[in-house]
Amino acid sequence: MNSSLTRREVNRETNLVDIRQRARELLVAEGPAGVTLRPIARAIGLTAPALYRYYASREDLLLDLIADLYDELTTSMERARDELARDDLTGRFIVVTRAFRRWARAHPREFELVFATPVGDPGAPKDDRLEGCGQRFGGVFQGLFVELWMHQQFPVVADEQLDPRLRRQLRQWAADNDIPLPLGALDVFLTCWVRLYGLISLEVFGHLSFALTDVEPMFDAMLSELAQRLGLSWRAEFSAG
Amino acid sequence: MNSSLTRREVNRETNLVDIRQRARELLVAEGPAGVTLRPIARAIGLTAPALYRYYASREDLLLDLIADLYDELTTSMERARDELARDDLTGRFIVVTRAFRRWARAHPREFELVFATPVGDPGAPKDDRLEGCGQRFGGVFQGLFVELWMHQQFPVVADEQLDPRLRRQLRQWAADNDIPLPLGALDVFLTCWVRLYGLISLEVFGHLSFALTDVEPMFDAMLSELAQRLGLSWRAEFSAG
DNA sequence: CGGCGTTTGTTAACGCCGTACACTGTTTAC
DNA sequence: GTAAACAGTGTACGGCGTTAACAAACGCCG
């Protein structure tokens, strides 16, 4: 039996779930500013002050929501990855990046909240929760990169060709996280991340609409370039014209 | 005499200036959510409802603020550009992109407001003002690109090598805006924009801090790559190590 | 079972917010 | 000089996040 949980504990969990669900619905319907306490409380049959038994503040609730969304995105990328064979690194690279874009397009408000909310200027008093989520999210790409490198090394520049200031930081990063990659590969990794994030957020925020109505072909073209850069044989196919 | 303006008109202009200035200060100090009517009104010796003689709503005021910021950024880029000789296209490309980054770093709150506020999902009911601002902003890069191409063409792919879906959109864009560039060059333009925007917003939003504490060397390295892609002879110099 | 401390909820209140309305004094234009 | 246009005010409404005081429900232990 699961009755090792007291009635209180069960109720607390269901309430927490309901709160987050309603917060998510409000986020989708009205954006970050629309996530307010009273409607959330009302929806689950409580009053606003009662929510303070669950979260220290609205800010705290939002942080939890962000963590949830972060995890959802990461999970969807991992699932896409795991549908392909372990050794199909090319395929995994493609489906993971596409899963990222698909999630961003399907959930623009959530994307906005997770990726375009500055983390606080001075020294970032950001929450530990998000630290872990970001780590897990980045880990999907990072893990793919490491396997890619292990299996078939792509061309990278020698350490000496990197700006010493950059070199130092990359070395530090690799050391702190035990990443068994040469610094040049880390540089490639970051460049891929920049292009991926750049294109997706430009699309979601509408800053490409001056030129494109459908970003998909450009996204595919970018994947082709990245794949080529990584020594993968993938090319986006399109009917000749 | 400047008294062709009535006393009322003069007062109206100064009030408008004061409102925007105070709004800007609040934005910087507390972020977009901190731009509220009562403190603005108080600061210039009015009450909140009086602001409705100047703006239809808070939203309307924010839109005006965004337009102001957009223009400020564009102007700073144009100024950086115009400090270099008309034919120093390489130099102009470098200083304009650096001016963009400098402004973003110096004004993270403003950058957030201008570049990371989605323009409304369905069909974008966005204001006409912003349309013009965006046009002027993009025009700086676009103008530079056109001159670059005119002066010294860089290698681009043939139209037939582009995904037909992408090709169609690029052709449409070029036609609508009378851009005298081959479609392959437009593709390069968008790719540069993606990388520039991607790196700068990742930096401003703190989404590179997992690896880098100082993004500058990576930015310089990116500029080197872009310059090379565009057939420019610029390379970020760094002391050998 | 009885009682007690903890937990979870309530209501009331404070000081904010954007905004609408009725009203008043000043400025402008004819 | 007078009437219309304008730029303010004060008041009010409903909403917000949050705090404080209090009441009921619950879990645990003797």
A17 is written with which tokens? 């779930």
Q: What is the pLDDT, as a whole number, of residue A237? A: 86
Say if A33 is an interface residue toward chain B (CB within 8 Å): yes
Q: Do B169 and A211 touch (CB under 8 A)?
A: yes
Residues 9-48 of A near strand C (Cβ < 7 Å)? 11-12, 15, 41, 45-47
| B197: nearest Cα among A107, A39, A204 | A204
Q: What is the pLDDT, as a whole number, of residue A132? A: 94
Q: Do B173 and A115 touch (CB under 8 A)?
A: no
A149 is written with which tokens? 């490198």
pLDDT mean for each 10 residues of chain A (241 residues): 78 98 97 97 98 97 97 98 97 98 97 81 62 96 97 96 98 98 98 98 95 98 97 84 55
Q: What is the arithmetic mean of pLDDT over B176-185?
A: 98
Say if B218 is an interface residue toward chain A (CB within 8 Å): yes
Q: What is the arithmetic mean of pLDDT over B87-97?
A: 97
For the ranges A212-221, B44-53, B114-123, B144-153, the lowest mean pLDDT is seen at B114-123
The pLDDT tens digits for A151-172 are 999 999 999 999 999 999 999 9
Picking from B134, B201, B204, the nearest residue to A210 by CB comes out as B134
Q: Do B124 and A209 touch (CB under 8 A)?
A: yes
Say if B35 is an interface residue toward chain A (CB within 8 Å): no
Q: What is the arithmetic mean of pLDDT over B83-91?
A: 97
Q: Do B221 and A119 touch (CB under 8 A)?
A: no
Give the A:B interface size as CB pairs under 8 Å.
Answer: 158
Q: What is the pLDDT, as a whole number, of residue B27? A: 97
pLDDT category at B187 given cuts 50, 70, 90 is: very high
Q: What is the pLDDT, as a whole number, of residue B4? A: 77
Q: What is the arithmetic mean of pLDDT over B93-112?
A: 97
Q: What is the arithmetic mean of pLDDT over B8-12?
A: 94
Q: What is the pLDDT, as a whole number, of residue A241? A: 55
